[in-house]
């Protein structure tokens, strides 16, 4: 049986500088090499970093020759033109950015992005050959009012609604809004419940549902990663704060090493 590789993705958000990026990426590349020497390439998870756009060139140069991929934190749904402040998919591709986070709760909240816009972005990203990481998650209020399942269903179904039957490249990230940057984390049991539900929503849409990766995000750190990643439907993590520390991020990567493949 082939074991699904986990995906450990770092979302740096608006945290970066030439000097901090250099130190972080160099430490990650060295640390991942050391881990590879220990456990072998086949057991390593896939690793991705998503820096702010002005640093893509620097980060892709630093990642040259390593197995770490680079992602963006958002992208325009338009190809080009008069869209001040936006970045296009072709720009991402020129910088070897092959993943893109879409529908992050901070973009939904501060940039007023809605389900319909996110659905168009997912469609365009897939058409351009990138892998979208589609973020979904309920707020504290929605959880307390028992709306978690309805919110997740609405966000997942809407985000994927324009994709052809049998899509095979999307990553979904379950990020409960109340757990992002707060130090609160969904328990492994809570995360597993929602992940299994998300997979059940994917099943009627694609025969690849079992192979698609569903990441957990929301205060994942070196201390809780092992237990979260041990859940059968938790296929990796989307990590914010802890992705800014090379030792924390490497420790999360070690927690995702495949055991007894
Ligand atoms: P956090 O952020 O790990 O700091 O909670 C996760 C995210 O927003 O992707």
pLDDT tens digit string along 226-241? 999 999 999 999 999 9
Is the CATH number 3.20.20.70 carried by domain 7-76+85-257?
A: yes
Q: Is 101 in the pocket of ligand 1 (CB under 6 A)?
A: no
Q: Is 137 in the pocket of ligand 1 (CB under 6 A)?
A: no
| pLDDT tens digits for range 139-184 | 999 999 999 999 999 999 999 999 999 999 999 999 999 999 888 8
Q: Which atom of ligand 1 is nearest to the CA of 219?
A: 5
Q: Is 240 in the pocket of ligand 1 (CB under 6 A)?
A: yes
Residue with tokens 């620097």: 58
CB 74 within 8 A of CB 101: yes
What is the pLDDT at residue 2? 54
Q: Is 218 in the pocket of ligand 1 (CB under 6 A)?
A: yes
Distance 81 CA to ligand 1 centre (A): 32
Helix then strand then coil, % of the chain, to nearest 5: 45, 15, 40
What is the pLDDT at residue 3? 65
Distance 194 CA to ligand 1 centre (A): 17
Residue 218: left if φ>0, alpha if ψ -120 to 50, beta else—which one?
left
Question: Residue 260 pLDDT more than 80?
Answer: no
Domain boundaries, given as residue ranges, for the chain: 7-76+85-257
């Amino acid at each position: 049986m082939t074991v699904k590789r986990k995906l450990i993705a770092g979302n740096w958000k608006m945290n970066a500088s030439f000097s901090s990026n250099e130190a972080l990426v160099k430490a990650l590349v060295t640390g991942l090499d050391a881990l590879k020497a220990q456990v072998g390439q086949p057991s390593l998870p896939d690793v991705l970093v998503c820096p702010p756009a002005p640093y893509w060139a620097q980060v892709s140069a630093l990642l040259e020759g390593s197995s770490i991929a680079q992602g963006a934190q958002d992208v325009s749904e338009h190809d080009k033109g008069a869209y001040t402040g936006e970045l296009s998919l072709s720009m991402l591709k020129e910088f070897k950015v092959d993943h893109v986070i879409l529908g992050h709760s901070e973009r939904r909240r501060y940039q007023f992005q809605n389900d319909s816009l996110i659905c168009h972005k997912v469609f365009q990203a897939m058409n351009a050959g990138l892998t979208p990481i589609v973020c979904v998650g309920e707020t504290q209020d929605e959880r307390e009012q028992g709306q978690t399942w309805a919110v997740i269903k609405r966000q997942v179904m809407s985000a994927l609604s324009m994709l052809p039957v049998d899509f095979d490249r999307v990553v979904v990230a379950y990020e409960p809004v109340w757990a992002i940057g707060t130090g609160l984390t969904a328990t492994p049991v809570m995360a597993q419940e929602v992940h299994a539900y998300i997979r059940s929503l994917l099943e009627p849409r694609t025969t690849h549902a079992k192979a698609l990766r569903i990441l957990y995000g929301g205060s994942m750190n070196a201390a809780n990663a092992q237990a979260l990643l041990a859940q059968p439907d938790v296929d990796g993590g989307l990590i914010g704060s802890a992705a800014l520390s090379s030792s924390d991020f490497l420790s999360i990567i070690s927690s995702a090493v495949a055991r007894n493949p």
